[in-house]
Amino acid sequence: MATLQVLTIPAFDDNYLWLIHDGVHAAVVDPGDARPVLAALALHQLTLTAILLTHHHADHVGGVPELLKHASVPVYGPRNESIATVTHPLAQGDTVVLPELQWQLDVLDVPGHTSGHIAYYAAIEEWLFCGDTLFAGGCGRLFEGTPEQMDASLQKLAALPGQTSVFCAHEYTMANLRFAQAVEPGNMALQQRIVREQDKRDRHVPTVPSTIALERETNPFLRWRGAEISHSLQQAGKLGDDAGIAGFAALRAWKNSYR
């Protein structure tokens, strides 16, 4: 059995498309643009055998029709969203088996960014492909879901093993970490992370994948129940003495307008 590898494919201004391959066969996650995927397949002499989608936004699904012109392959995607190209609709508890790659993934429902967003977790490799739900240092905007849904989704992902690699779909890390520092300035692990990630960006190296353990230590959207973040929200006039999900909602709203 060949060892699987994950190839990072940059797209648009800040997207990452993920190509998982064994040196012969490949599956792609969230191909918003077909051109860089086709180029990577040709360069590495790989045959596309599956497409995996996390949600319906165009920068995640826009390249699928063109890819299907080149290869008639199954398209896996969320059962609770309308994506015309999906042939295998999925939801929480489903398992994806890709025989050509001898690869298995568990499907997780993670609504919030969109109403039917899903993630894929490869337990053997400890890889998570989470689209726009969990970012390095942040989380997706709530375009369709509620704060309660997003918080529950993030807590579900945070419960995965700490060494799990987090393959999110955007290079938003430094902007996310600047906000994280503003709301939790006393977090030493966060300060150290900022130095490491900025060094990567200075060398034009992706900051993704992250790990679940690192996100638990430094991501404010996994840490919003803590005293320092609550105090920052109150000091900034974003939150009164309310407890509960109002804190998450206030934090996400603040991030939406933070510069």
Question: What are the domain boundaries of the chain?
Answer: 5-257
User: Which pLDDT score, from 0 to 100, does residue 80 have?
Assistant: 96
User: Which sequence positions are flagged as catalytic?
Assistant: 55, 57, 59-60, 113, 132, 170
pLDDT of residue 2: 72
State if pTM tops 0.85: yes
Q: What is the pLDDT, as a whole number, of residue 198? A: 98
Dist CA 170 CA 151 (whole Å): 20
Q: Does domain 5-257 have CATH number 3.40.47.10?
A: no
* Residue 236 CB neighbour total at 10 angstroms: 12
Amino acid at 177: L
Contact between 106 and 115 (Cβ < 8 Å): no
Separation CA 41–CA 26 (nearest Å): 8
Q: Residue 208: what pLDDT?
A: 98
- Token pair listed for 153: 């989704």
pLDDT of res. 43 = 98
pLDDT along the chain (259 residues), means of 10: 91 97 98 98 98 98 98 98 98 98 98 98 98 98 98 98 98 98 98 98 98 98 96 90 86 94
Give pLDDT, residue 240.
Answer: 76
Determine the pLDDT at residue 1.
56
Distance CA 85, CA 167 (A): 23
